[in-house]
């Protein structure tokens, strides 16, 4: 029997990094997915994906596994233990989400793999999928806030803090343009850099956290009112906060500045220091926004995914 699941990519509209320190974030899942297919077979764990392949004994030490494959091996080992199986598992991953550029490919992979692998034994609830996906992600990114895994699991637009999620029942008039700088980053390294900034400048960081919190409360009202102009202005302010904590760079700044010339607002999405920027648009400025950047950057218009993980 094969068990197939998929989970969506995500963008962060507001609050990345500050969410790691207890603030809120506003996230949205988008219509690019990662697909994971699992099968009980043989006596090893076998993983294949566009990032490479691995074949390993079922009882291999998780710390010794290459970090690219570690979350999947962790999930396979946990499921085999939990359901007292002596078999192996074969896992295949196919992704529409570019990896390492802030669109949540790693979280989406953990969510889709948790659903697919545990689905070999019993249909898991979304709560179980999320719990296992966060444990798997922590094998490579200990400090994760859990924001990305939550939105990849439940889908839609959501307010997230470490206290929980609030799915927003909206019918937004805006669209999101995603522009990929094609500069890969490591989320855990960028998060460590922000930790250092916080330690070196505790007062500045604390003020920025407060400012970001107020900004998000106002942005949530804009979202409810569908006020795209006001929301765009707040995205520009959020970008300024991210620049202050040192997660932007010259390439991202110039992409954001060009996008700001035609869209309502633009900012980094996700960890920064590379990766993607997003721009807020509607029917009036979508085409212009898609064409404003050099063709060396990958630009696309994203639709909001309302489904989350699916099997
Ligand atoms: C990464 O997409 C978002 C960060 O806030 C990290 C996290 O929330 O775990 C940078």
Q: Dump pLDDT digits (tens) for 131-170.
A: 999 999 999 999 999 999 999 999 999 999 989 999 999 9
- Give the residue among 102, 7, 104, 4 at the shortest CA–CA distance from 305: 7
Ligand 1 center–CA 134 separation, angstroms: 13
Average pLDDT over residues 196-210: 98
- Give the residue among 276, 304, 280 at the shortest CA–CA distance from 98: 276
pTM: 0.96
Q: Identify the pLDDT of residue 294.
A: 85
Q: Quick one: pLDDT band at residue 176, thresholds 50, 70, 90? A: very high
Q: Quick one: pLDDT band at residue 296, thresholds 50, 70, 90? A: confident
Cβ contact 45:14 at 8 Å? no
Average pLDDT over residues 112-125: 98
Please say if the pLDDT value at position 37 is more than 90.
yes
Task: For residue 1, count CB atoms less than 10 angstroms from its CB and return exposed for 0-12, middle for 13-18, buried for 19 or more.
Answer: exposed
Distance of CA 239 to the CA centre of its chain: 18
- Give the residue among 279, 272, 275, 92 at the shortest CA–CA distance from 180: 275
Give nearest CA residue, ligand 1 atom 10: 271
Q: Identify the pLDDT of residue 93.
A: 98
Average pLDDT over residues 242-266: 98
Of 80-84, 86-90, 154-158, 161-165, give the lowest mean pLDDT range. 161-165
Provide the mean pLDDT of the chain: 97
Ligand 1 center–CA 187 separation, angstroms: 7
Ligand 1 center–CA 24 separation, angstroms: 11
Instruction: List residues near ligand 1 (CB under 6 A).
Output: 12, 16-17, 19-20, 102, 144-145, 147-148, 187, 191, 270-271
For ligand 1, what atom is nearest to the CA of residue 194? 10
């Amino acid at each position: 029997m094969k068990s197939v699941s998929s989970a969506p990519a995500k963008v962060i509209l507001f609050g990345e990094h500050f969410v790691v320190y207890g603030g809120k974030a506003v996230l949205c899942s988008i219509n690019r997915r990662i697909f994971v297919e699992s099968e009980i077979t043989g006596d090893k764990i076998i993983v294949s994906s566009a990032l490479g392949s691995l074949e390993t004994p079922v009882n291999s030490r998780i710390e010794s596994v290459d970090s690219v494959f570690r979350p999947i091996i962790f999930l396979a080992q946990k499921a085999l233990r939990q359901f007292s199986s002596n078999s192996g598992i074969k896992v295949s991953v196919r992704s529409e989400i570019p990896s390492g550029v802030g669109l949540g490919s790693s979280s989406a992979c953990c969510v889709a793999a948790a659903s697919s692998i545990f689905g070999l034994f019993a249909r898991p609830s979304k709560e179980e999928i999320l719990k296992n996906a966060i444990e798997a992600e922590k094998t490579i990114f200990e400090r994760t806030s859990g924001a990305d895994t939550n939105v990849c699991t439940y889908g839609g637009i959501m307010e997230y803090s470490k206290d929980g999620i609030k799915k927003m029942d909206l019918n937004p008039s805006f669209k999101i343009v995603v522009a990929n700088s094609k500069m890969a980053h490591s989320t855990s390294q960028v998060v460590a850099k922000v930790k250092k900034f916080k330690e070196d400048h505790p007062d500045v960081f604390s003020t920025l956290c407060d400012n970001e919190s107020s900004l998000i409360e106002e942005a949530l009202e804009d979202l409810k009112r569908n006020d795209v102009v006001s929301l765009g202005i707040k995205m520009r302010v959020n970008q300024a906060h991210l620049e202050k904590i040192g997660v932007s760079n010259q390439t991202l700044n110039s992409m954001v500045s060009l996008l700001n010339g035609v869209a309502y607002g633009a900012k980094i999405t996700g960890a920064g220091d590379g990766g993607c920027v997003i721009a807020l648009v509607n029917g009036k400025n979508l085409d212009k926004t898609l064409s404003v950047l050099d063709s060396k950057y990958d630009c696309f218009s994203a639709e909001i995914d309302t489904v989350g993980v699916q099997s």
